[in-house]
Chains A and B, each alone.
Chain A
Amino acid sequence: MSFVVSPTSVDEAIAFLVDNPEARPMSGGASLVAMKNARLIEASHFVSLARIDSLRGIRRNADGSVTIGGMVPHRDTAACDLLDGDLRMIRQAAGQIANRVVRNMGTIGGAVANADPAADYLPVLVCADAQVEITGPGGKRLLPIRDYLVDWYETALEPAEIVTGIALPPAGSGPSVYRKLARTPGDFATVSVACARDGDGVRVAVGACGPAPLRAPEAERALAGQLDDPAAVAAFCEALVALADPVDDVRGSAEYRLTLIPRMVAAAIRDVTGGL
C-alpha cells in the first residue's frame, strides 16, 4: 500500500488512522515534511487531508461565530474579510507566518495540531478565546484552546483525532493587534503579543514565553477601565511576567523575553487604545 493516502472525507481519514496507529495525518505538510526530512519523525503512512472538501473554507455561522476549516491555508486566513474588529489580529498573525509560498501550503489545522509555542497562530487564538474543533473515532468535540494546549508541544489530541476546524466567537468591534518580534521576517517569534480591545478592557495573550500562550484573565478584569493608568498597565504586565516560563534559545535569552513581555504588552495596549 502507498505511503501516502488521500481520503476524501473526515470519516475515511479517521478510519484509516484507527487502522494504522503509526500513520500520521498531514495537512499542508509545511512542518510535518520538514520534520520528516530532518528525520525527526517517522510514520507508516501520511494521511493527506488535502482532498477533504469539508475542511475548506471560512464561514460565518448563524450566531455570528466564525469557523475556519482545518485545511484553510494561511494565505486565505490572512485575506479573510470575516476576520475583522477584535478578530483582525488573526489575519495579521496569518500574514506573518513564514513567507508567501509557505502560506500557500500551511494550514490553521496543521499549525494548531503542531502547537509550536513560538508559532504565530496560538497567541491570537488564545486571545480570541477560540475553540478547537477536534474530530476522532468518538465523533466531534469542541475544546477551548487553552484546555487544548497541554504542555510543550503537547496537546489534548488523542490518537486518530484531527483538528477539523477552529471556532471563533462573533467578532467584537475591536480593535485588535498582533505584535511579533522575530530575527528576520518569517522566522518564528522571539516573543509575540496578541491584544484585543474588549469593552473598557483588553484581552492579551503572549506567545513564545512558555509551553502555551500566557493569558491572565483575572488581571485582565482588574485592568478593565484603567487602560490609561500606567501603574495599572504595569501591574497587569507583571501578572503576565509571573506566568512566563521562557527558555534560552537561538532567538533570545529567557531574560530578554522576560524584559520584552511588559514592553511589548504595553505597546500592544497602546495600539488598541489609540494612546488613551
Chain B
Amino acid sequence: MSTAFDIPAGTAVGKSTPKLENREKVTGRAEYIDDLYRPGMLHAAILGSPYPHARILSYDVSEALAAPGVVGVITGDDVPDGRMGAFIKDEHALAKGKVLYLGEPVAAIAAETLEQARAAVNLIIVDYEELPAVLSPEEGLAPDAPILHEKLKDYIKVFDAGSEGNLCSRTELTEGNVDAAWDRCAVIVEDEFETEPQAHVSLEPCGALAEVDAQGRVTLWSANQSVFRVQANVCESLQIPMSKLRSLTPRVGAGFGNKMEPHIQPITVALAMKTGRPVKCILTREEDFEIVRARHPFKIRMKTGADAQGRLIARDCEVLLDCGAFADDSPGVLGYALLMSGGPYRIPNQRARGKLVYTNKLRFGAYRGFGNPQVSFAGEQQIDEIAQKLGLDPIEIRRRNMLHEGDGWFVGPKIASNGLARCIDAVEAASGWRKGLQPPATPGTRRGKGIAVSAHISGLLGTGAIVRMLEDGTIALNTGATDIGQGSDTVLAQICAEALKLPVEMVSVASPDTDGSPYNWGTTASRVTYTTGRAVAGAAREVLRQAMEHASEMLDTPVEDLELREGGRIAVKGSNEDLPFAAISGRAHWAKGGPIVGHHTLVFDEPTHDPKRSIALGLPFPQIGVFSFGALIVDVEVDEVTGQTRVVEAWSAVDVGRAINPRLVEVQIEGGFVQGMGFALYEAMVWDGPRLVNPSLMDYKIPTSADTPHVHSIIVEDPEPNGPFGAKGAGEIGLNPVPAAIANALSAAIGGRARKVPMTPERVLNQLLEGGDAA
C-alpha cells in the first residue's frame, strides 16, 4: 500500500527511541507549571459557590481586600460578558450573574503568599438567591424544570445542536431501516446500561501562571493539551484580541482530556490584569476534582438483532448524557459516541440517538475514549449475548461481522486500512483462547476470559508544522503540538528525521508557543501522530524541495538527477558526488532562494457523513478521521466471598498503521488498559445531592502497581495510505474495550451480565448471587 513516504524505515521511524526529554524527568529537573516562578509573583486562591444553582445578588470584598498580603480580588463584576466553549459558547471566565454548580468559582484572590490568599478567600461575602437545582438529565428534561442557561438560544454554536430549555444538544444518526429489520432477526437482545463518572486524575493538578507586560500584553503558561485552545478560550471569555495574549506550555504532568479546554487560565489572567503582577494559580487535588471536568455518566438503551448465522442485522442505540453545567466538549462526546455505537461491524440497519442535558454539576467533557468506552460496554456485551444464544464462539461472531478495508463506517466515513482481523488473530493466539476452556481458578475464586474489540478515529481539525534547516544543516521543528508526556515531540522528530534521512538527534523540537508555532487544535482525539505527523512530513518535503534547488545550483545538476541520501546529504544519482545539508543550508542563508524553511498545514478533510447512505442530524464533526482498530482479551478472577474482581492478565492488540516508536505505542496500550480497568472496576465520582463526596485520592481510588496485571501489548501494522509513513493514532483505542472485555470475562466466570460500570465488588457479588451460574 502506498504511503506518504515510500521510504523503507531506516533512520528513525520504527525505532523505540527513548523520549527526548527523559533525562530531565528522571533527574527531577523537568519544569511543570507549579515549578515556574516569576519575580514579584502572587499566588491565587479561589472561592467556590456553596450552592448548585443560585443568582448572585451582590459581592462584598472589602474585608478580603484588607486582609494581610492581599493584592487583588476579582468577582464576576470584574470579567466581561464574554462566553467561551468548544461547541457552544456558554461559559464565562468566572461565574457572572448566576452560579451553576456547587464549587463553581465565584471569586478569586491574589496575595503575596498562598497561605494569605487561602486565608482571605473566605472573607469574601457573596449574597445569593438560591434557585432549585437540576441534578439529573431526567430532571433537566422535565417540563417544569428550572432552566440553567436562560439565553441558550442566543449562544454561539459551531453546529446544529438543537439546543432548547436544558437540552444542550441532540444527535440522531440513521442508516437503513431499523424498525423494519427486527422481523428478519432470529435473535434480538435488548437492555439498559449505565456508566458512572470517571475522574481524569492526571498526577499533576491543573494550574496556570499569567503575567501582563507594560504594553498590556499577556503571557500565559499553563498545564494544557493545546496552547491554542487556551488562547482562544481566555480571549473569548475575557474579550481580549488574540494577538494580545501569548500562550505557552511548560512540561505537562499528563492530560487525558482534562487539560484540553479551559480550567483555571481565564481566572488567572483576569487576576494578573487586575493586579498588574504575575499570578500563579495551582489547583489543589480537591479543586482539580471539583472544578475541572470528568468523564460523562451514560445511560444507554441498546437493542441488537442478528440472523440465525449470527450476522448482525440491526442495532438501535439511545443514550442520555449528563452534560453538567457547561457544554464544554460534551456535544462532541455525544456525537462521537453515537457514531461509534455500532462498533467495527457491518450492520445494515442502524440508528443512534442521544440527548445531552444541562445539570447543576461540574461540567463533563473530553476524557480518553470520548464516549466510546461507554457505548462499547453495551455493544460488545450484546455481541457476546447473541453469540451465546446462537452457540457461537465470541471470536467467531466478531470475525463474521467485522468491517473490512474499503467498507464504510456508520453514516459514511470510508475505511482505508483495517488491521482488526490481525488484532483478533494476535490476541487469540497470545492468550490461548479456546471456546469453553477456561483457566483453572484458585480455590474460592471463579475465573473467566472475555474479549472485546474496538475502533477509534484519529484526525480532526487544523494542524501545521514548520521545519527549518539551520545553517549547520541541523533541523528545528515547530508544530505547536503539546507533548503531554506521551512522547509526541519524539515521534514528530522521528518523522521529520526519517523524511530528511537524518539521525533524530539532529532535530530539535520547539515548545508550543502561540507567537511562533503553527496552529494546532490540540493533543486530543488520538490525532497528533497522524495529523501533525502529516504536517511534519509535508513541511519536511518542502524543505527537501528547497534544499534540492540550492544543491542543484551548487552541483550544477538538474534537480531530477539528485537524490537524498542517509545522513542528510544530497547526491548526484549514480555518483559519489554529494553535499551535506550543512553546506547547502550555509549557502542558502546567503544565496538566491534564501534560508530553507518548509511549512505545511492541513485539516482532515474527508466528510463524515455520506448523505446517500444515511441521515445525520446534529453531527458535530463534519470531517472526522481515519480508523485505528484493536482487540482485547482479559482473564479475570472473582473472589466468591466478596465479589472483588482481579484482572489476572490482559492481551491487547492495536492496529496503529505504522508504529513510529513501538515502545511508546506499547505504553499507550498498557496505560490505556490500566486506566480503563480502573473505570471498569472501581473508579466513580459520587455525588450526594449536589455535593461531590469523594474529591480526594483518599476517597477516589485509581489503580496501583499492585492491583494491575501484566498487560501484553501487541502492535499490528496495517499502513494508513495517507498517514505519515503509514501511521495512525494509538492514544485512546487501548482504553475503549476494557470495560466490555472485563464484563464479558465476568459473565464467563460467574454467569449473568454486568449492566453498570464500575463493576464494583458489591455489584459483582450481586451478579454472582442472582445471575448465578447461568453460563
Once the chains bind, are A185 and B706 in contact (CB under 8 Å)?
yes
Once the chains bind, are A183 and B762 in contact (CB under 8 Å)?
no
Q: From residue B583, how far is it (CB to closest CB) to chain A in Å?
A: 56
Once the chains bind, are A184 and B641 in contact (CB under 8 Å)?
no
CA distance A186 to B701 in the complex (A): 10
Once the chains bind, are A250 and B444 in contact (CB under 8 Å)?
no
B696 adjacent to chain A (CB < 8 Å): yes
> Which residues of the partner chain B approach A143 to less than 8 Å between Cβ atoms?
none
CA distance A241 to B698 in the complex (A): 27
CA distance A253 to B761 in the complex (A): 11
Given that A38-B696, A190-B761, A250-B686 are known contacts, is A184 also in contact with B444, CB under 8 Å in the complex? no
Interface residues of A in 183-203 (CB under 8 A from B): 183-188, 190
Q: In the complex, identify which listed stretch (A150-158, A211-219, A256-264) lies at the interface while the others stay far away.
A: A256-264
CA distance A267 to B700 in the complex (A): 28
Given that A250-B699, A267-B641 are known contacts, is A184 also in contact with B762, CB under 8 Å in the complex? no
A252 adjacent to chain B (CB < 8 Å): yes
> Which residues of the partner chain B approach A187 to less than 8 Å between Cβ atoms?
701
Once the chains bind, are B644 and A181 in contact (CB under 8 Å)?
yes
Option from B642, B682, B693, B698 in Cβ contact (under 8 Å) with A263: B642
Once the chains bind, are B761 and A184 in contact (CB under 8 Å)?
no
**How many B residues touch the partner, as a band?**
20 to 34
> Which residues of the partner chain B approach A253 to less than 8 Å between Cβ atoms?
762
Contact with A along B699-715 (1 / 0, CB 8 A): 11111101100000000
Contact with B along A231-272 (1 / 0, CB 8 A): 000000000000000000010110010011001100100000
B765 adjacent to chain A (CB < 8 Å): yes
Once the chains bind, are B699 and A252 in contact (CB under 8 Å)?
no
Given that A250-B694, A267-B641 are known contacts, is A183 also in contact with B682, CB under 8 Å in the complex? yes
B219 adjacent to chain A (CB < 8 Å): no
Option from B642, B696, B703, B765 in Cβ contact (under 8 Å) with A184: B703
Given that A181-B644, A250-B699 are known contacts, is A259 also in contact with B704, CB under 8 Å in the complex? no
Given that A250-B686, A267-B444 are known contacts, is A181 also in contact with B761, CB under 8 Å in the complex? yes
Interface residues of B in 678-700 (CB under 8 A from A): 682, 684, 686, 693-694, 696, 698-700
Once the chains bind, are B642 and A185 in contact (CB under 8 Å)?
no
Contact with B along A154-188 (1 / 0, CB 8 A): 00000000000000000000000000010111111
A contact residues, total (Cβ < 8 Å)? 20
B163 adjacent to chain A (CB < 8 Å): no
Once the chains bind, are A264 and B642 in contact (CB under 8 Å)?
yes
> Which residues of the partner chain B approach A256 to less than 8 Å between Cβ atoms?
761-762, 765
A selection of 6 A-B contacts at a CB cut-off of 8 Å is: A183-B682, A185-B704, A190-B761, A250-B694, A252-B761, A260-B641
CA distance A216 to B285 in the complex (A): 41
Contact with A along B758-772 (1 / 0, CB 8 A): 001110010000000
Option from A99, A183, A186, A263 in Cβ contact (under 8 Å) with B641: A263
> Which residues of the partner chain A approach B684 to less than 8 Å between Cβ atoms?
250
> Which residues of the partner chain B approach A185 to less than 8 Å between Cβ atoms?
704, 706-707
Main secondary structure on A side of the interface with B = loop
Q: Identify the closest chain B residue to A34 (Cβ).
A: B698
Q: From residue A217, how far is it (CB to closest CB) to chain B in Å?
A: 24
> Which residues of the partner chain A approach B682 to less than 8 Å between Cβ atoms?
183-184
Q: Identify the closest chain A residue to B696 (Cβ).
A: A38
CA distance A183 to B702 in the complex (A): 9
Q: From residue A119, how far is it (CB to closest CB) to chain B in Å?
A: 12
Once the chains bind, are B642 and A183 in contact (CB under 8 Å)?
no
Once the chains bind, are B760 and A252 in contact (CB under 8 Å)?
yes
CA distance A264 to B686 in the complex (A): 26
Q: From residue A94, how far is it (CB to closest CB) to chain B in Å?
A: 16
CA distance A34 to B704 in the complex (A): 20
Option from A34, A99, A252 in Cβ contact (under 8 Å) with B762: A252
CA distance A188 to B696 in the complex (A): 14
CA distance A184 to B681 in the complex (A): 10
Q: Identify the closest chain B residue to A191 (Cβ).
A: B642
Once the chains bind, are A259 and B765 in contact (CB under 8 Å)?
yes
Q: Identify the closest chain A residue to B769 (Cβ).
A: A259
> Which residues of the partner chain A approach B761 to less than 8 Å between Cβ atoms?
181, 190, 252, 256
> Which residues of the partner chain A approach B686 to less than 8 Å between Cβ atoms?
250
Q: From residue B619, how far is it (CB to closest CB) to chain A in Å?
A: 37
> Which residues of the partner chain A approach B444 to less than 8 Å between Cβ atoms?
267
Once the chains bind, are A184 and B701 in contact (CB under 8 Å)?
yes
Contact with A along B720-740 (1 / 0, CB 8 A): 000000000000000000000
Q: Identify the closest chain B residue to A190 (Cβ).
A: B761
CA distance A259 to B706 in the complex (A): 26
> Which residues of the partner chain A approach B699 to less than 8 Å between Cβ atoms?
250
> Which residues of the partner chain B approach A250 to less than 8 Å between Cβ atoms?
684, 686, 693-694, 699-700
Interface residues of B in 595-640 (CB under 8 A from A): none
Interface residues of B in 740-773 (CB under 8 A from A): 760-762, 765
CA distance A134 to B644 in the complex (A): 39
> Which residues of the partner chain A approach B702 to less than 8 Å between Cβ atoms?
184
Q: From residue B674, how far is it (CB to closest CB) to chain A in Å?
A: 12
Once the chains bind, are A184 and B704 in contact (CB under 8 Å)?
yes
> Which residues of the partner chain A approach B760 to less than 8 Å between Cβ atoms?
183, 252
Interface residues of B in 49-86 (CB under 8 A from A): none
CA distance A260 to B639 in the complex (A): 12
> Which residues of the partner chain A approach B642 to less than 8 Å between Cβ atoms?
181, 260, 263-264
